[in-house]
């Protein structure tokens, strides 16, 4: 089998919670040797963010599910770099690395000589990625950054939720996850530059920047029109009908993306006259008259059962879907066929649950060789690699 694409690349992760560890986990999936440096006094905060906790077959607490969501494939070493000896060991380890990821507050590592300017003197090729709430510059640079706060400040919550209702956050920490993904993109670009030139660089990643950037078409809706988009519930500002609709036994998603799909939808539900009505025959017309359109569609769908309607829409190539729980999503035949659920052997007789990364590569498949590490599990092994003995 071919090697994973980042085999041979070493990453030092000085990161906690989600954005930094998410980036580290993805690099580990891609084959990098990711060494998670944790404080001996408890390690990553998310180890305790439960319940639920992952329990070993002998009843051992193997840390919270949250921790396991973002730390697969890594090795863990415990070092207290506020101690001179451990700090020296860490620097020795960093000298062997290609990449460092950290999410300390602005200048939080400078007093230990672990900032980029200090470390590039001992490792000129080092790609050093700093992840903070607001970046290394600007009036908010010194502030702590939390996903919830960033969802609010970025504009995301202003377009999420029912019209006129309380602004809503997304049900997962998307600002952290987007920042982790953007970080990996930047890290790989910087790694290529370092391989070509021998020069590393400092990557400045901010949760606020990432979440603003990820608002996509909604940003341009504002920049072009001058009007800030508002909450629309499950409706779409630019397309109709593209929303959640009630049926006899629940709700479905109807995602009509063009006029042809709308015509086929109308035929399925016996509303063919709508397709020729000038109020609804084109997408701009449907967007303008969305309220009248929804009333007509709701009335007709009240007689349809979810399963039968979805089957008819699929046969007629009209995009629609059920609204699954997470349990139903993992039980879906497509998710099963794609192998989204993983079970990883921890070498101690336990099979730990995990979720496959979404990249499928034909030539350099990803690596899922180990689950999330126990606190300090690889300390002795890693210290031996740099010629040090554990205490």
Read off the tokens for 84.
């001179």
Find the range with the poorest average confidence among 30-34, 182-186, 287-291, 367-371.
367-371
The answer, yes or no, to whether residue 368 has pLDDT greater than 70, is: yes
The answer, yes or no, to whether residue 390 has pLDDT greater than 80, is: no
* Statement to judge: residues 351 and 310 lie in one domain: no
- Please state the domain count of the chain: 2
Find the range with the poorest average confidence among 2-6, 139-143, 313-317, 338-342.
2-6
pLDDT category of residue 1 using cuts at 50, 70 and 90 = low
Look at residues 28, 60, 66 and name the one whose alpha carbon lies nearest to residue 47.
66
**Going along 154-310, which residue ranges are E strands?**
201-206, 242-247, 250-255
* Statement to judge: residues 172 and 263 lie in one domain: no
d(CA 241, CA 271): 14
Given 324, 355, 378, the domain boundary residue is: 324
d(CA 382, CA 88): 14
d(CA 375, CA 391): 16
Length of the chain: 391
> Is 199:125 a contact under the CB 8 Å cutoff?
yes
Give the per-residue pLDDT at 388.
87
Mean pLDDT, the chain, whole residue set: 96
Q: Sign of dihedral through CA atoms 171, 105, 189, 24?
A: negative
Asked whether residue 3 is domain-assigned, the answer is no
CATH of the domain at 358: 3.40.50.10540
Q: DSSP readout, 215-243?
A: TTHHHHHHHHHS------TT--SS-SSEE
CATH of the domain at 299: 3.30.1540.10
> Is 371:346 a contact under the CB 8 Å cutoff?
yes
| Mean pLDDT calculated for residue range 180-184 | 98
Would the pTM of this model clear 0.85, i.e. be above it? yes
The answer, yes or no, to whether residue 193 has pLDDT greater than 80, is: yes
* Statement to judge: residues 262 and 300 lie in one domain: yes
* Statement to judge: residues 278 and 382 lie in one domain: no
* Statement to judge: residues 166 and 312 lie in one domain: no
Residues 6+ apart with CB under 8 A from 254: 241, 242, 243, 244, 245, 265, 297, 313, 318, 319, 320
Give the per-residue pLDDT at 391.
66
* Statement to judge: residues 260 and 154 lie in one domain: no
Read off the tokens for 86.
């451990």
H or E element in which residue 343 lies? strand 341-345
Given 324, 349, 368, the domain boundary residue is: 324
List, by residue number, the catalytic residues.
Answer: 176
d(CA 141, CA 214): 20
d(CA 276, CA 348): 66
């Amino acid at each position: 089998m071919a090697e994973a694409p980042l085999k041979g690349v070493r990453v030092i992760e000085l990161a906690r919670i989600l954005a930094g560890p998410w980036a580290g986990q993805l690099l580990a999936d891609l084959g990098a040797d990711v060494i998670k440096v944790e404080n001996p006094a408890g390690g990553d905060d998310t180890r305790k963010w439960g319940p639920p906790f992952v329990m070993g077959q002998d009843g051992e607490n193997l840390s919270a599910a949250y921790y396991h969501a973002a730390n697969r494939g890594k090795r863990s070493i415990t070092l207290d770099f506020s101690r001179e000896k451990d700090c020296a060991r860490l620097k020795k380890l960093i000298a062997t690395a290609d990449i460092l990821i950290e999410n300390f507050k602005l200048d939080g590592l400078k007093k230990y000589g672990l900032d980029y300017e200090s470390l590039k003197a001992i490792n000129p090729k080092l790609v050093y990625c700093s992840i903070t709430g607001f970046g290394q510059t600007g009036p908010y640079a010194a502030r702590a950054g939390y996903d919830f706060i960033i969802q609010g400040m970025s504009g995301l919550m202003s377009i999420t939720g029912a019209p006129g209702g309380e602004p809503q956050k997304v049900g997962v920490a998307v600002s952290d996850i987007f920042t982790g993904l953007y970080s990996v993109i930047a890290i790989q670009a910087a790694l290529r530059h370092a391989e070509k030139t021998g020069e590393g660089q400092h990557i400045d990643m901010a949760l606020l920047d990432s979440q603003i950037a990820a608002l996509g078409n909604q940003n341009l809706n504002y920049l072009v029109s001058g009007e800030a988009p508002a909450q629309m519930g499950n409706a779409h500002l630019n397309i109709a009908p593209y929303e959640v609709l009630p049926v006899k036994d629940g709700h479905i998603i109807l995602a009509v993306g063009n006029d042809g799909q709308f015509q086929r939808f109308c035929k399925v539900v016996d509303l063919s006259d709508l397709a020729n009505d000038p109020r609804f025959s084109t997408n701009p017309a449907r967007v303008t008259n969305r309220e009248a359109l929804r009333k007509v569609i709701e009335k007709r769908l009240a007689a349809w059962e979810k399963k039968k309607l979805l089957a008819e829409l699929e046969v007629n190539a009209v995009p629609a879907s059920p609204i699954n729980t997470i349990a139903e999503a993992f039980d879906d035949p497509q998710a099963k066929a794609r192998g989204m659920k993983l079970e990883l052997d921890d070498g101690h007789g336990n099979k730990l649950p995990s979720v496959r990364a979404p990249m499928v590569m034909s030539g350099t498949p990803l690596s899922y060789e180990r689950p999330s590490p126990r606190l300090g599990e690889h300390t002795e092994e890693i210290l031996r690699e740099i010629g040090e003995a554990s205490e």
